[in-house]
Chain A
Amino acid sequence: MRLNTLTIPEKLFGVNTNMMTVFIPLVGIIIVAVVGYNIFLAPKIDDISKMQSDLKSVETKSKSVLEKTRYLQSIDPEELKKNSDFISNALLPQQNAYLLVSVVRSVADKFGFQVESFLISPGKLEKVVTEVKKSGKNIPRIPISVSLVGPKNSFLDLIKGLERNLPVLSVDSFKMTNIGTMAKLDLEISAFYLEDNNTYDINKLTLSDLTLLKEETDLVTTLGEYSISLDVNAKDNSGTNKVYRKYDRIDPFSL
């Protein structure tokens, strides 16, 4: 057999070479099919598996967001706001030791005690933090030393009043001296403040991050039994509501 200039033997591997030409279209089809698979079908199959994984991811995301949405829709926003505002009363809105003295004074007044003296150490305020159990985070606290004088038989009510007060106070040290029917209490009291500068990426929050735990709702109930002697979150206390007033006085001590 002669194929142009190439001379092919009559038989290859015992098969007549003329007979082999029959397989040429089949081989061509197989080559086209293999090439077509690699060029056309394989990318489409890859696309399918990629789209399937995307679909699964979108569906999972949708399901998670839907669960969060349903949970949030089930909460009464007014109740939530009320509870959040209420919990805010448990902490001082700012690092203000004088505000703490006012709080202690208002509690003391209720039980017939008077603030005889108080001591604030400004240098101390910057450093004092308390590690909060469970969360492991530190919460800044404001310590003051205060001497209270009042009826001896009301001292226990005063201590309980201080410990059942909002903002939450912690009695760090205690000394009581009796002067007849009167008692003098030398206390070191701390209050806690929190500047909530946290930013929340709402898309990263999970349903469990959003769900209010029983202990958190129980805390609101517990704090409900506490009394608010002084509304520290009132605008008048924070000074935000005050309007600037200019006094054109030459003598600053004159009225």
Chain B
Amino acid sequence: MSIMNLNLLPSKAKFQAAKIKLKTQVNKIAIGLVAAWVVACAIVLGVNFFIKYKLANAVVQNKKIQENYTGLQSNILVSQKLKYKAKMVGGVLASRFEYGKAFEMIENMFPEVITLDDYDLKEDGTFRIDGTTKTREGVDLVENTIESINSDKNKALTGASLTSLKNFKGVWSFTIVVTLK
């Protein structure tokens, strides 16, 4: 047993020494805590200040951008009116049926020897067409045309039928009914 390990101080003195030692340690912890708190405060305040500064700058920048945008108000209104009207007009054009195209297509289907005289549009999308031809071959051509419409070769017409055919003084008059798709 070494003589150095012996503590010959009275118990009160030992207690005081332990207390001083503990106090030193506690003080160190307290200083550490205070320092950490102060650092945390500094960081929080710094970040707070930095973000506040950034936000203020962003708000100023936003105001400038907004003023520029508001300055273009007349263009925006014209553009919106254009878009609104375009939407409506586009819808109208898409909704309406163009008879000009349909008539042109029907006329083109019949050869020149056949004359189409009267057109009458029925509400259910069918045309009654009266026509004439002076030759028997013309009548054959009318029948062939009707057959080609009914054979589903035509994309715009659903079907056609010959509803009347008569011959008066060598002129063949016929009536056909054409149904649009």
Contacts and interface: CB of A to CB of B under 8 A. Distances in A.
B72 A25 contact: no
Given A29-B34, A41-B40, A73-B72, A219 B15 contact: no
A65 interface: yes
A212 B83 contact: yes
A87 B18 contact: no
Interface in B60-108: 61-62, 65-66, 68-70, 72-100, 103-104, 107
B33 A134 contact: no
Contact of B100 (A51, A163, A177): A163
B37 A36 contact: yes
Contact of A77 (B55, B75, B120, B121): B75
Chain B interface, DSSP helix/strand/loop, else mixed: helix
B86 A216 contact: yes
Contacts of A133: 91, 94-95
B36 to A, nearest CB: 9
B162 to A, nearest CB: 19
Nearest to B120: A175
Contacts of A90: 85, 89, 92
A8 interface: no
Contacts of B83: 209, 212-213, 216
A25 B30 contact: yes
Contacts of B99: 159, 163, 171, 174
B88 A91 contact: yes
Contacts of A200: 76-77, 80
A55 B58 contact: yes
Interface string A10-48: 000000101100110110011001001100110011011
Contacts, number: 214
A84 B85 contact: yes
B90 A65 contact: no
B92 A192 contact: yes
Given A23-B26, A212-B82, A220-B86, A135 B91 contact: yes
A211 to B, nearest CB: 9
A116 interface: no
Contacts of B52: 51
A132 interface: yes
B140 interface: no
A26 B84 CA distance: 73
B62 A75 contact: no
22 contacts: A22-B19, A33-B33, A55-B51, A58-B58, A58-B59, A58-B62, A69-B72, A73-B72, A80-B78, A84-B79, A88-B85, A134-B90, A134-B91, A160-B104, A163-B98, A163-B99, A164-B100, A168-B92, A170-B92, A171-B96, A176-B118, A194-B88
Interface of A: 16, 18-19, 22-23, 25-26, 29-30, 33, 36-37, 40-41, 44-45, 47-48, 51-52, 54-55, 58-59, 61-62, 65-66, 68-69, 72-73, 75, 77, 80-81, 83-84, 87-88, 90-91, 130-135, 137, 139, 152, 156, 159-160, 162-164, 168, 170-171, 173-178, 192, 194, 196, 198, 200, 202, 205, 209-210, 212-213, 215-216, 219-220, 222-223
